[in-house]
Amino acid sequence: MPRLLVVHHTPSPALQEMLEAALAGARDPEVGEVEVVVRPALTAAVVEALDADGYLLGTPANIGYVSGALKHFFDTVYYPCLDATKGRPFAAYVHGNLDVTGAVRAIESITTGLGWRAVAPILTVSGTPTRADRDALYELGGTVAATLTTG
């Protein structure tokens, strides 16, 4: 069964809402059988990244950049995963109250360096997530999970 690793930093109620919506989409039975492994960014391990077939990343934009927790995950897995995970699909979401541009740019730069393949544009949400935001997150989770079952 394909494995989706969800790596997130969820320090706020808004990000918790976003995570739950994305997980609901990834776990939708219509997606197919996918093992969804959920790890906080500070505890996600190299072996989990290597064992995953795809990734869903979630972070706040802190001072215009990804959270330190997600950056720690990338710093931990970057070299061990550099060749072993090339071409694997990923999706990401970013929450901010102000500017998220730097956080999006960082995710794009790091995942490009890893050779990961984006299955959707990085989803950004500002302020309190709306129903449309939650629906988009549900779709995002389903999209990345579905790529693992369809190739």
Residue 121 DSSP label:
P
The CATH number given to whatever domain includes residue 47 is 3.40.50.360
Residues spanned by the domain of 78: 3-150
State the total domains in the chain.
1
Q: Which of 61, 21, 8, 2 is nearest to 141 (CA)?
A: 21
In percent, the amount of the chain with pLDDT more than 70 equals 99
pLDDT in tens, 108-120: 999 999 999 999 9
Taking the whole predicted model, whether its pTM rises above 0.75 is answered as yes
**Distance of alpha carbon 146 from alpha carbon 151, whole angstroms:** 8
Q: Helix (H, G, I), strand (E, B), or coil: what is residue 50?
A: helix
pLDDT in tens, 121-143: 999 999 999 999 999 999 999 99
